Amino acid sequence: MEPHHVPYGGSATSEYIAAVREHVIRPLACSPVADHCFAAAMLIFAGIDGLGRLVHPNPTAGAGERFRAFLRRLGSDYQRRENELWALRNSLDHNAINVACYMSKTEDARGQHLEVDNGHVFVHTVRLLTDFRAAVDSLEGELQQDTALFVQTESRLEWAYLDLPGWRDPNVQTTPPPFVRFAYVRQR
């Protein structure tokens, strides 16, 4: 029996891709957060983690395997530097300290992107964003054409809605999660 095919435009997958564009790509393309190389790399790496979880063929693959597999979608230079970038992702995400690379966002440094010197990779965060955006665009096109991949991503997303907690005091200033039509991705 063939699985019911949900149109891409109304799917959880399209909402997830839209959330990646809204909460990862747009702030890095249009706001001062892009001036901070650590923040830019952390956001992009989080996007790679999430998308890797959706598209990796093995639903039980570990975080490193999923990260490396999606990173390859950014191009062969990323595949060549996947171990260095995984180390950078871990140092930023787990320690908020960069012990793995040099970073820059200046245009005159773009040509050194992913070069290695003394074991440290150079990451040009504007180039990383450009390549990540291209990979997301390519993936979205692939999801619209590849029914099996689309069904896989849909099976790994769950719709959820944020209800305001009962303890929330309207007089207390809080920063709620941003509006998305689902709260998380988890394997079923």
From first to last of its 188 residues, the chain has per-residue pLDDT tens of: 344 556 888 888 999 999 999 999 999 998 888 888 889 999 999 999 999 999 999 999 999 999 999 999 999 999 999 999 999 999 888 877 777 788 888 877 777 899 988 888 899 999 999 999 999 999 999 999 999 999 999 999 988 766 666 666 677 776 666 655 554 444 44
In a domain, 90, yes or no: yes
Token couple for 32:
């001062």
In a domain, 2, yes or no: no
Yes or no: say if 72 and 133 are a contact pair by the CB < 8 Å rule. Answer: no
In a domain, 39, yes or no: yes
Task: State which residues form the domain around 134.
Answer: 8-185
Cα dist from 125 to 18, 45, 53, 85, whole Å? 21, 11, 23, 12
Token couple for 26:
């747009």
Token couple for 164:
């305001």
Pick the closest to residue 103 from 36, 22, 181 (CA basis).
36
CA 145 to CA 71: how far, in whole Å? 21
Q: What pLDDT score was predicted for residue 187?
A: 40
CA 62 to CA 41: how far, in whole Å? 20
Yes or no: say if 104 and 86 are a contact pair by the CB < 8 Å rule. Answer: no
In a domain, 178, yes or no: yes
In a domain, 3, yes or no: no
Strand-pair partners of 104: 124
Neighbours of 187 (CB within 10 A): 10
Q: What pLDDT score was predicted for residue 9?
A: 86
* CA atoms lying within 13 Å on the CB side of residue 175: 0
CA angle 124, 27, 39 (to 5 degrees): 50
Looking at the structure of the chain, the number of domains it has is 1
- Burial classification of residue 83, based on how many CB atoms lie within 10 Å of its CB (0-12 exposed, 13-18 middle, 19 or more buried): exposed
Pick the closest to residue 49 from 37, 40, 62 (CA basis).
62
In a domain, 1, yes or no: no
